[in-house]
Structures are given as C-alpha cells and as structure tokens.
Amino acid sequence: MPFQITGISFALDHSATLNADEMGLGKTIQAIGVLNADDSIKNCLVVCPAFLKINWEREIKKWCTRRISITIISGHKPCAISDTPTTRLAIISYDILWYHRSWVDKIDWDLLVVDEAHYCKTIGAQRTVAVLGGKPKKPRKKGKRSAPATALPPIAARRRLFLTGTPILNRPVDLWPIVKSLDPDDLGKRFLLFAYRYCKPRRTHWGMDYSGSSNLGELGEKLSRFMIRRLKKDVLTQLPEKQRQVIELPNGGFQELIDKEFRAYDTYEHYLKEGQTKMRQISFTELSKHRHELALKKVPQVIEHLKDCLTAGPVVCFAYHKDVIDEVARAFRGCKVITGATEMAVRQVYIDSFQDGRADLIIGNIKAMGVG
C-alpha cells in the first residue's frame, strides 16, 4: 500500500529508524521491504518475542523477493547461521539472545530488526541489555539459568530498524533505551538531560521519580527525525469507522462488585500518588481480586454475547484470567484457545486454522495474544 512504500523509503533514508505505525498497518512487511530494496544487505538479524519467530519466517517467505537462507535460533546451545552465498537471515527471541551473543557479535550485521521494540523499555532489564547493551540490574543467581552479570556492548549493525505499535509517549522515560540507541548524538546523549527535559522528575522518599512527562510537543518533533508513525484512521480511509457496543449487565450482584472495584481503584490511586509502595501493592492485590470476581460473574453474559456475534462471522475474544478463558471456551466446541501455556508451534496451528476458516472463534489471553 502507498503508506507502506513511504515507510520503506523513510527507513532506507535513515541508518537508524523507529517504525511506530499503529498495530495492523504492516510493520513486518515494511521491514521486509527494506531488505528487498537494499541489495547491500547480506546479513540480517531479527530479534522478536519467541511466539513471533514462526510468523516472521512465514512473512519473509511470503514477501521477500531475494534468494535468502533463514535460520530460526532456538535453545541455549551455541549455533551458527547457515553459511551460504545467499543473503543470510537469523531470527532469535529476546529470552535467549543473551546466550548467543558470542556468535552474534562475530557477524557483521547489515540490518538489525528489533520487533516489538517496547520490550526494551526498562533500563538494565536482561532483554534490554541483550539488544542495546549495558549492564543488567540483577546479578546471576546460583543454580538458576540467568544472564551474566558482565556488561555487554549493543549489537552492532550498519542499519537498525526498530518496530513498535506502542511508542509510549505518555511515559517518555520508557523511550530512553531506544532513543539512546537510535539517536545517540542528540536525544540519547545524556540521560539526565533527557529526563529533566521530558520526564518531569520529582523527588520522593525513595529517590527521583521519572515517570512524568513534559515538553511532549518538542519531544515528538525531535522523534520525527528518525521515527515514523501513522494511525489507521489516517491511512486506511477506505475502512469503515470502528464500532463500539456497550452491553448492559442485568441486576443481580453486579453493582456491588463494581462498587468494590471502584473503591479499590481509588485506594490504589491514592497510595500511588503518595508514593507508599507497600500499601500500593496491598491495594493493587485487593483491586485485582475484585476485578477477577467481576470477570467470573460476567462469563454467562459474555457467552451469550459471543453466540450472537458468531452468527455474523468469525470472532476474536480477549480475556485476562485463565479460569475465565476456560469457562468461556467450554461453551464453544472447536474454538481455539491461546494462553501463556500454549506451545509456540500449537499457537501457529490455531492461528492458521482461524485465518483459513476452519475455526470461527479464537479466545486469547491479552498478554499471550495481544501483540504480533
């Protein structure tokens, strides 16, 4: 589509790019378009969540116009990507990247693609350091497989392309690791300069809090030098407007649960503003309990609503709690369920069966099925 061609052109004009197009606008295809358009790219590394590795392989086989060898990296044992005269591409997940850095650092990467780049938002987190370099916050634990305590350099690549549908502008501090990597000479030059200008820091009993935001207009303008972001409403003008429907719940105990949830939320917000960490955690646990109770009570109404929706066509249903998902799924023979416990290969089978029409309902945990 025209806006995807524009995204490819933007990335080709920049050695470091953040593609923050809204979810569903084809960021994967745009990344593959860069690979197609730049013949000088011979070695490409794709870093993504584990459950997206198979999807990346399928999309590359579908859209790549060059002769290419694809290697999916799994496990913790050292390995090497296929050594052929063709363009070489390796796909690896965040969770095992630590254990493969020895051979990753030996290869001159022409293109590094970091999918779901907001996974790298936490400074010192293992997956952030594995990609962007630095020293992890937590040292190695005895008897447990974990990241080494030594610092790592960032993965070196001639061209870097980060993809995320969640640019997290409401908490600019979460952008810092990405900004430091993609714009080291300006926005990413010094953390304190960035924090005091855009994060509205405040002093608390436990130190400085950088979770605020300030000068967002200026930040957006500076980000636009290396970031491209389009919204569906701006580029997919041929699609109808999104429709929302409010389903009213009958009387019978719902209001009491809703009132409990609102009170728990107000309490949590109070302790959050006051900076009382222990009481905040206690109140969050209470809030989570009431949310769970309310979700379970809504199951019969959700099932009836899904039955109505299925008369019009295929349905994707998201939920949070596993027991809620299990109860809903029991009402629909043949539906597909994806949670954190679903194996990666099985997830892809379920997605394929839904996409090709063999299943008309897929129910997913919002964490396990909420990206990619």
Convert the pLDDT of each residue in 226-263 to its tens digit. 999 999 888 888 777 778 888 777 766 778 888 888 88
Give this prediction's pTM: 0.76
Do residues 365 and 339 touch, judged by C-beta distance below 8 A? yes
Mean pLDDT of 344-359: 89
pLDDT above 90: residue 325: yes
Choose the most confident range, by mean pLDDT, from 34-48, 201-215, 272-286, 341-355. Answer: 34-48
Are both 2-235 and 257-365 of the same fold? Answer: yes
> Which range is least confidently modeled, 52-66, 100-114, 130-144, 322-336?
130-144
Reported as a pLDDT band with limits 50, 70 and 90, residue 38 is very high
Both structure tokens of 116: 């779901």
| For residue 123, pLDDT beyond 80 | yes
Backbone phi and psi for residue 71, each to the nearest 5 degrees, phi listed first: -125, 125
Cβ neighbours, 10 Å, residue 4: 17
Domain boundaries, the chain: 2-235, 257-365
Average pLDDT over residues 281-285: 82
Round to whole Å and give the CA distance between 132 and 148.
15
pLDDT of residue 330: 94
* CATH node for 2-235: 3.40.50.10810
Rounded to whole angstroms, the Cα distance separating 226 from 179 reads 10
Both structure tokens of 22: 């809204």
- Residue 159 pLDDT > 90, yes or no? yes
Fold of the domain spanning 257-365? Rossmann fold (3.40.50)
Q: How far is CA 331 from CA 300, 312, 337, in A?
A: 10, 18, 12
- Widest CA span of the chain, in angstroms? 69
**Both structure tokens of 61:** 């086989």
Confidence of residue 145 (pLDDT cuts 50, 70, 90): low
